[in-house]
Structure 1
Amino acid sequence: MAASPTLEWERELAAQGYKFVAGCDEVGRGSLAGPVSVGVVIIDAATATELPGVKDSKLLRVPVRQALVPAIIDWAAASAVGHSTPAEIDAFGLVAALRLAGSRALAQAAATLIPDFVILDGNQDWLSEPEVDLFTAAMAGGAAEPAPWAIQTRIKADLTCLSVAAASVLAKVERDAMMTELSGAFPVFGWDSNMGYGTAAHRAAIVEHGPTDHHRKSWRLV
């Protein structure tokens, strides 16, 4: 059994002077339908205590995840979930859509508390704005303002960092609720069980009924 995530890394950051640390994780990256969603949980890394029961959302049963949400919200100094729609994924690409969803979540959480540091699960920094050359920046009227927080990727942070695991739970529960609600209008796709992912039954339903506006039409759906 995998060890539960801890606050070890968050406390190391606090010792380096980063008081408010945000854990950030995404869900829905590989789905054929529905949004890509990003959860953010900001904590006071110097004073936060461990939160029992929280793990990477994929390791928790549905009722356990749902029951943890109020505790996570109470535990966090600030939290939010942001989304990018299938249309935005099709228009801008997945990485830009992840950035958009993450920026929305951070903007919402930062309205309560601005983090000093963001821990991003994985090895790809999809949250930072891409660097542009000087000519492009000049044509755009100047370079974009840098984010007021540092960002660091951390592989398997959802398994080891408690703030990131908590963010994954918030994102998963909120996105699953959205897909379950959509399933009521489109029951043939089984979104209340597959959450938009590419199961054989979901792909067969796309072949039979065609894609909806909630599908990522730029993707290979069948």
Structure 2
Amino acid sequence: MLIPDYSFETLARDSGYLRIAGVDEVGRGPLAGPVTAAAVVLDPARIPEGLNDSKKLTPKRRALLNAQILEVAEISIGHASVEEIEDINILRASHLAMVRALEGLSAPPDYALIDGNMVPRGLALPTRTVIGGDARCVSISAASIVAKICRDCVMLSLAQQHPGYGWETNMGYGSKSHIAALQNLGVTPHHRRSFKPVHKMLYQD
């Protein structure tokens, strides 16, 4: 089983880079809500134990690690809205959120480790992409946790504004109860209209 480590950061530091940001996003697949990215600059002397892909952690463990990350690391969050997802597509919106997260750090990083296999357009700093990085690289693992917690909070808030869709538990993903709510309650402004189940609801014959 893969366990995230600091080897990618060590290689970057050996090349002279000091402010190394891990970047990950969450929310590509949901039918509703923004896509959210986090950039995290870890202190190599204060790395929380047990960092891993946020999807592999229990909610309790994820929340604990998120609190530890906030105590010892520098973080920044970037979002891309539903309108932006519809305008430029989900992949480019995910990359836009990543760029915004990096740009939001209090001081610019000099190197970025990004989950996936594509460098976001417009990113003007040395970068390495890491496929499956949230399960391999502790900085990206930390970013995956922070992004997940942040987006979940957004969806909990939206769930209070639009009860009945189950966003407080499905976080906007296309669960059976969410699909049923779409059919019964209709489409909200926070739904992604280009995504198939929502599109079918709007344009069914």
Match of 2:77 in 1: 81
Q: Distance in 1 between matches of 2:169 and 2:116?
A: 26
- SS at 1:189 equivalent: coil
Amino acid at match of 2:166: G
Please state if 1:51 is matched with 2:48: yes
- Note the 1:191-202 alignment, pairs <5 A: 191-202=167-178
TM-score between the two structures when normalised by the length of structure 2 = 0.91
Report how far residue 86 of structure 1 moved: 0.8
- Tell me the TM-score normalized by structure 1: 0.84
Q: 1: CA distance between counterparts of 2:67 and 2:183?
A: 40
The answer to whether structure 1 residue 211 and structure 2 residue 176 are counterparts is: no
2:60 aligned partner: 63
Give the residue type in structure 2 aligned to 1:220: K
Spell out, residue by residue over 1:45-97, the C-alpha distance to the aligned partner (whole angstroms, 9 max, x if none).
xx444420221110111122112222112222x21111111111011211221
Aligned to 2:108: 114
CA distance in 1, matches of 2:165, 2:28: 18
Q: Distance in 2 between matches of 1:8 and 1:103?
A: 23
| Residue in 2 that maps onto 1:153 | 129
Task: Quote the Cα distance in structure 1 between the aligned partners of 2:126 and 2:11.
Answer: 14
Q: Please point out which of 179, 187, 191 is paired with 2:163.
A: 187
Deviations along 1:177-203, one digit per CA (max 9) or x if unpaired, are 111111112221100110000111111
Work out the CA distance in 2 between the residues paired with 1:8 and 1:207: 48
**% same residue:** 39
Q: 1: distance between equivalents of 2:133 and 2:173?
A: 23
SS at match of 2:173: coil
Structure 1 CA distance, aligned partners of 2:170 and 2:136? 27
What residue identity is the alignment partner of 1:114?
Answer: P
The one-letter code sitting in structure 2 at the alignment partner of 1:60 is L
Unaligned runs of 5+ in 2: 199-205
Runs of 4+ in 1 over 6 A off after TM superposition: none
Q: 1:128 Cα deviation (Å)?
A: 2.5
2:22 corresponds to 1:30: no
Amino acid at match of 2:135: L
Do the aligned partners of 1:7 and 1:50 also contact (CA within 8 Å) in 2? no
1:100 aligns with 2:96: yes
Total equivalences in the alignment: 198
Report what 2:12 is aligned to: 13
Q: C-alpha separation between the residues in 1 aligned to 2:141 and 2:8?
A: 13
SS in 1 for 2:134: helix
> For residue 133 of structure 1, what is the aligned residue in structure 2?
none
Q: Distance in 1 between matches of 2:6 and 2:41?
A: 12
**Would the aligned equivalents of 1:179 and 1:192 in 2 still touch at CA under 8 Å?**
yes
